[in-house]
Amino acid sequence: NAGVTQTPKFQVLKTGQSMTLQCAQDMNHEYMSWYRQDPGMGLRLIHYSVGAGITDQGEVPNGYNVSRSTTEDFPLRLLSAAPSQTSVYFCASKGQAATNEKLFFGSGTQLSVL
């Protein structure tokens, strides 16, 4: 059981480039989400999904796209990277049971946009 796997661990982009951050989980979790972590800001929710084919925006969705074609995968796309998107990105998942609020986090992707 690998849990939540994020790739890559590190990435440097130039302004305007696009890229996709990958996230996969092998726990058959229905709920998946993306957070960004910035100093002094804590974690802020970008997008989330409650099942295949269903996605919704979080607190800071601008500049990011997501899709959920399978239960296992939830990629995060940066369409045109900006320096303001320099951050550490975390993917997290959990089961959908009403009382199951324990989020499982990946180890993060550190992104720098120059």
Distance CA 18, CA 82 (A): 10
Q: What is the DSSP string of 57-93?
A: E-S--TTEEE--SSSSB--EEESS--GGG-EEEEEEE
C-beta of 17 vs 67, nearer to another protein = 67
Are 32 and 93 within 8 A, CB to CB?
A: yes
Query: Is 92 among the residues that bind another protein (CB under 8 A)?
Result: yes
Query: Is 19 among the residues that bind another protein (CB under 8 A)?
Result: no
Query: Is 1 among the residues that bind another protein (CB under 8 A)?
Result: no
Distance CA 33, CA 89 (A): 10
Query: Is 4 among the residues that bind another protein (CB under 8 A)?
Result: yes
Please identify, among the stretches 13-21, 44-52, 68-76, 78-86, the one whose residues bind another protein according to the rule CB under 8 A.
44-52
Among 27, 50, 52, 82, binds another protein (CB under 8 A): 50
Query: Is 20 among the residues that bind another protein (CB under 8 A)?
Result: no
Q: Before 8, cis peptide (omega within 30)?
A: yes
Distance CA 113, CA 82 (A): 6
Among 24, 29, 32, 35, binds another protein (CB under 8 A): 35
Q: Binding residues for another protein, per CB under 8 A?
A: 4, 31, 33, 35, 40-45, 48, 50, 56, 58-59, 90, 92, 99, 101-108
